[in-house]
Amino acid sequence: MSDIGNERTGDSNFSNDESMGAESSTGRGGKDLRHIRIAVVDDHEMFRAGVIATLQPYFRIVGQAADVEGSIAMIGQTSPDVVLLDVHVPGGEGGGGAEILVKSQPLSPGSAFLALSVSDSPKDVGSVIRAGARGYVTKTITGQDLMNSIVQVYEGYAVFSPKLAGFVLSTFQGVAPAAHDDELDRLSAREQEVMRLIARGYTYREVAGELFISVKTVETHVSSVLRKLQLSNRSELTRWAADRRIV
């Protein structure tokens, strides 16, 4: 990781055939993963360095970049097998990760793209899926699960965080959320926020952390949501939200 600390936001760093670090290692189950060539795109230097440090002992890290232009150039020159791609990347025409996907795929048609983002909004997920990403996971993922996701994407599978499953399916089906819903209008803005997170599979503690409220407050909002929608439990709530494609 010796050459990572000197990189400024907006720069890119790549090496065509040499990994940036570890000599050799194996992943879960003893599989040798060093033949899988990885590029990392993220404008947050510390996060990018952390991802590289996690993956470097197992994969060949062939490039990294922090903005749209640098990412496109890096991907075109290194042709990585898998690109870990943040959704919100500065530069270019303002299209972020989706713009990188569209413009770099002709330069490296063999690369698979796995979005790795803090965002779990339907808009962000939909934009990169439509642009050609093979998977989308959030930055709460563990190191081991990220490694497994990379291998799956490399092998041709689609990979998504469980909490994103509902609206990922809607995106693939090309179905837009309902514009207006009388039942949804019964809920306050905060109750709608809590409802969506619960429907995505968040625990009460995770919802509390996401919205900067107490677990007790989350419980109160959930009780109110269930009462207003005349539902019995969170499973029914998840089905209700999925039916309306609002998760």
pLDDT tens digits for range 94-153: 889 999 999 999 999 999 999 999 887 777 888 888 888 988 998 888 999 999 999 999
Residue with more model confidence, 69 or 131: 69
The pLDDT of residue 144:
92
What is the DSSP-derived secondary structure letter of residue 177? P
- Per-domain residue ranges for the chain? 12-171, 182-243
Whole-model pTM: value is 0.62
Per-residue tokens: 149: 């996701």
Residue with more model confidence, 234 or 171: 234
Residue 117: in which H helix or E strand, if any?
Answer: strand 112-117
Residues forming beta bridges with residue 63, ordered by sequence position: 14, 39
What does the alpha-carbon distance between residue 244 and residue 194 come to, in Å, rounded to a whole number?
16
Fold of 182-243: Arc Repressor Mutant, subunit A (1.10.10)
Looking at every residue in the chain, the average pLDDT score rounds to 81
Name the superfamily (CATH) of residues 12-171.
Response regulator (3.40.50.2300)
